[in-house]
Amino acid sequence: MSKPPEFIPLSDEASRAVAGTSSRHAALIEDALDVLVETPGGGVALSGDTKARANAKQVIAALAARADAGHEVTEADVRVAIGQARTGGGKAGSSVSGGGGLPVGKRGQVAPKTPGQARYLQALAKCELVFGLGPAGTGKTFLAVAHGAGLLLRGEVDRLIVSRPAVEAGERLGFLPGDLSEKVDPYMAPVWEALTDILGADQFRRRRDKGEIEVAPIAFLRGRTLSHAFVIVDEAQNTTRLQMKMVLTRLGEGSRMAVTGDPSQIDLVNGADSGLAHAVGLLEGVQGVGVNRFTVEDVVRHPMVERIVRAYDADAAQRARKP
């Protein structure tokens, strides 16, 4: 004889978040965990075996905590919560902790979606220099931009400086038309999109025009001292060892830096000269330096991205085993 449904009381906001638009979130939970999710009003009714219910309750608790805290609940949040329930990682609501002081973007307050992202934000708040390493879609650049924007909005830094090596599959800036800004902007599109999402187009434009937000190719940082600034070095796997040493030593009084990249996606002709892994190997454990390594479990972009990353990781592991 099947067990009767278990009713979990929730706030109206949490109930809507668990159900999702056109019950999309509920359907994701049902398909992944082999349960039946119903939202009769005032909460959620769960049907399924004991283990399935326990996992589903963890997912629902995490989503409800996020909704009750005023955060948007997206399909990415649902997938992350399901993954944590399956692996036993994290506690209910843990994915939204550790990100205090972040600004409110167009889609609500910016907040971490996984424990790995929460650890990253804690490191950014605590350390003067933070390395964020991991695959695409883990939010390492977006969260660094959000943290820097928060510091700028609160007046804790005077400038937000973003730098990125102009190395993309062998292309060079000199072949692009236009002035320096027009040459650089295509390479900085992900950062500009993040800043527009967080600050809004008008405020982003005003702060950029005033020089409070600055873009600078790696080479243009040489000889400068970056004081009272939050500096983001993005796609850092494409910096050489000399470039990395140069940019790390630009830090001046009252400045902090986030260095982000994916060591598995090096576009340099000589991949062994990449400065990212070299710098982490030298500096991990040094006072004031934080290192956060994201994994495939932190991918929050599109479910296909996680599957792609897993496939490439498996291929790399297989190649490494061959003599």
Higher pLDDT, 4 or 89: 4
pLDDT at residue 108, as a whole number: 56
pLDDT at residue 104, as a whole number: 55
| Same-domain pairing of 105 and 218 | yes
Is 297 inside a domain boundary? yes
pLDDT at residue 228, as a whole number: 93
| Same-domain pairing of 121 and 183 | yes
* Lowest-pLDDT range of 22-26, 182-186, 199-203: 182-186
What are the tokens at 291? 């290192």
User: How far is 150 from 129, CA to CA, in rounded Å?
Assistant: 17
pLDDT at residue 227, as a whole number: 92
Is 162 inside a domain boundary? yes
- Per-residue pLDDT tens over the stretch 235-285: 999 999 999 999 999 999 999 999 999 988 888 888 788 999 999 999 999
Note the pTM of the prediction, 2 decimals. 0.67
* Lowest-pLDDT range of 25-39, 202-216, 253-267, 309-323: 309-323
- Per-residue pLDDT tens over the stretch 142-169: 899 989 988 888 888 999 998 888 755 4
Is 316 inside a domain boundary? yes
Cα-Cα-Cα-Cα dihedral sign, residues 283, 231, 294, 103: positive
| Same-domain pairing of 135 and 278 | yes
Total domain count, the chain = 2
Q: Average pLDDT of the chain? A: 82
What are the tokens at 192? 């500009």
For residue 311, the tally of other CB atoms under 10 A from its CB is: 10
pLDDT at residue 30 greater than cutoff 50: yes
Is 1 inside a domain boundary? no
User: How far is 184 from 182, CA to CA, in rounded Å?
Assistant: 6
| Same-domain pairing of 249 and 313 | yes
| Same-domain pairing of 50 and 148 | no
* Lowest-pLDDT range of 139-143, 173-177, 214-218, 241-245: 173-177
| Same-domain pairing of 51 and 81 | yes
User: How far is 110 from 304, CA to CA, in rounded Å?
Assistant: 23
Helix H or strand E encompassing 183: helix 180-199
Reference 135, options 319, 321, 318, 302; nearest CA is 302
- Of 95, 119, 144, the one marking the end of a domain is 95
Helix H or strand E encompassing 190: helix 180-199
User: How far is 34 from 61, CA to CA, in rounded Å?
Assistant: 17
* Lowest-pLDDT range of 122-131, 205-214, 231-240, 291-300: 291-300
Let me know if 251 is exposed, middle or buried by CB neighbors in 10 A (0-12, 13-18, 19+): middle
pLDDT at residue 67, as a whole number: 87
> pLDDT-derived band of residue 221, with 50, 70 and 90 as boundaries?
confident
* CATH assignment at residue 16: 3.30.1370.10
pLDDT at residue 310 greater than cutoff 50: yes
Could you list the beta-strand ranges (E) of the chain.
6-9, 36-38, 43-47, 104-105, 108-109, 129-133, 159-163, 213-215, 229-233, 256-261, 289-293
Task: Using the CB atoms, write b or e for 89-121: b if 16+ within 10 Å.
Answer: ebebbbbbbbbeebbebeeeebbbbbbbbbbbb
pLDDT at residue 94, as a whole number: 43
pLDDT at residue 184, as a whole number: 57
pLDDT at residue 109, as a whole number: 61
pLDDT at residue 211 greater than cutoff 80: yes
SS3 assignment, position 240: strand
Is 148 inside a domain boundary? yes
| Same-domain pairing of 194 and 158 | yes
| Same-domain pairing of 242 and 179 | yes
Domain range enclosing 14: 6-95
For residue 273, the tally of other CB atoms under 10 A from its CB is: 15
- Of 73, 95, 117, the one marking the end of a domain is 95
What are the tokens at 21? 């638009």
- Of 74, 95, 116, the one marking the end of a domain is 95
- Per-residue pLDDT tens over the stretch 70-113: 888 888 778 778 877 876 655 444 444 444 456 655 555 677 87
